[in-house]
Structure 1
């Protein structure tokens, strides 16, 4: 599900059992990430799939990348793998106005 930044943040703060997932490359992550994120690079192909499959399917995943395109793809992949609650941050880090660490 695609959410605007306002919706993404509001829902994230209201939900319990959440994971913030950054699917960017290591060099992008080094420029800063949303606090409390975990990073699994979608460009790693099968390694990405393996790491995703190891995650808890009962949690809710708030996913972002640089612009929102890779994270949308990550949501699709995760849905196919049986994750029911995936939320894509529209605009990604390019439009992110919140905290960065």
Structure 2
């Protein structure tokens, strides 16, 4: 499901089962991420699928990338794998106006 930034963030903040998932490359992730995000690179192909299979499918995932395209694809893959809730951040981190963690 695609969510605009404000809805994506406010929904995450009130979701005790929410997890932020960054599907960019490790280099992109290391240059700056949304706080508390975990990184699983969608470009890893089958490795991406294996990493997703390790996640708890009962949690709610708030997924983003640079502009919203890779994360939209990731959300579709996650639904196919049986994840009930995967929310794509429209516009990605490029348009993100919230807190960024650069450490």
Could you tell me the TM-score, scaled by structure 1's length?
A: 0.98
Gaps of 5+ in 2: none
**Residue 69 of structure 2: aligned partner:** 69
Alignment of structure 1 residues 1-101 onto 2, 5 Å: 1-101=1-101
The alpha carbon displacement at 1:27 in A equals 1.2
Count of aligned positions: 101
What CA RMSD, in Å, does the superposition of the two structures yield over aligned residues? 0.5
Structure 1 runs, 4 residues or longer, greater than 4 Å off: none
CA distance in 2, matches of 1:18, 1:9: 10
The alpha carbon displacement at 1:41 in A equals 0.1
Gaps of 5+ in 1: none
